[in-house]
Amino acid sequence: MDTATDFGEIPRRLPGQLRGGARLVLHSYQAATLVRGQRAEPARGSQRRRPAILGLFGFASLLNTIREGAADHDPYARWWLKRIDEALSRAEEELLDLQNVLNEECGKDQRYSLNVCQSVRPAVFELRFAHPHAYRAARLLATYDLFVLEAMAFRHHALLPGALVTELLRDAARIVRRTYLSPTGYRRTGVRYSDIRADNALAEQAHALMGPLPSDWYEDRSDDGESDEDASSESAPDPQNSSVLTAVQ
């Protein structure tokens, strides 16, 4: 058998593009409204002005622009990714601290236990994002959702004072909303590391729009693997199909 000839006749086939995703199931109204966020609305009659709230989808959309900049060796984009990573880590720790407060207050009576309430029709979100930080942001929302359910159950069963629950819920929502704002402020200018070192017009434009870049971010960090991994872990999905909302009937 002519091995070279036989194998040569086999068409060369390589795997296609990798695709992945996740499912986010939310039971509380408070968490579900933070998926899409809300648009700002002016005051009308007796209704007060409603501020804009950036939700998970808005966070992921801004993050995708930053990811593209980081892939093009924009030092500001890579610095922004680091800041987003720190904001997510800080939010995870702060939500854990609030959860510990909840557990400490409700763990005093071991003779009484309850089942945390769940929605009879939770909102199910099929997610496909282009950057790991977006999935971290989704998990943060899942943590917040469970926190809301537990806090409301403890209040309903008179295990916690209503005023304390209101304060904890307000603090938790604030943490998530603040974290989703972390990608804001970045502007795609086309600046690269070489422009920063040359201090040319592009570098001046980026400085004017986004402020000074820390000096330890003047050098390209592609070689250490950190930036490439952060910049693009998956191929960017179609923006129209990146997130799908389905209500479980």
Task: Answer for the pair 210, 73: CB distance below 8 angstroms, yes or no.
Answer: no
Q: In what order do the strands lie in the sheet with 123-127?
A: 22-26, 123-127, 243-247
**Tens digits of residue pLDDT in 105-129:** 776 667 777 888 899 999 999 999 9
Task: Answer for the pair 49, 42: CB distance below 8 angstroms, yes or no.
Answer: yes
Euclidean distance between CA atoms 242 and 228, whole angstroms: 22
Residue that has been written with the tokens 């943590």 in this structure:
143
Q: What is the mean pLDDT of the chain?
A: 83
Q: Which residue from 40, 70, 39, 41 is spatially nearest to 57, judged by alpha carbons?
A: 39
| pLDDT at 5 exceeding the cut of 70 | no
The pLDDT confidence band at residue 240, using thresholds 50, 70 and 90, is very low
pTM: 0.81
**DSSP strand pairing (243-247 vs 123-127):** antiparallel
**Tens digits of residue pLDDT in 153-202:** 999 988 889 999 999 999 999 999 999 999 999 999 999 999 999 999 99
**DSSP strand pairing (22-26 vs 37-38):** unpaired
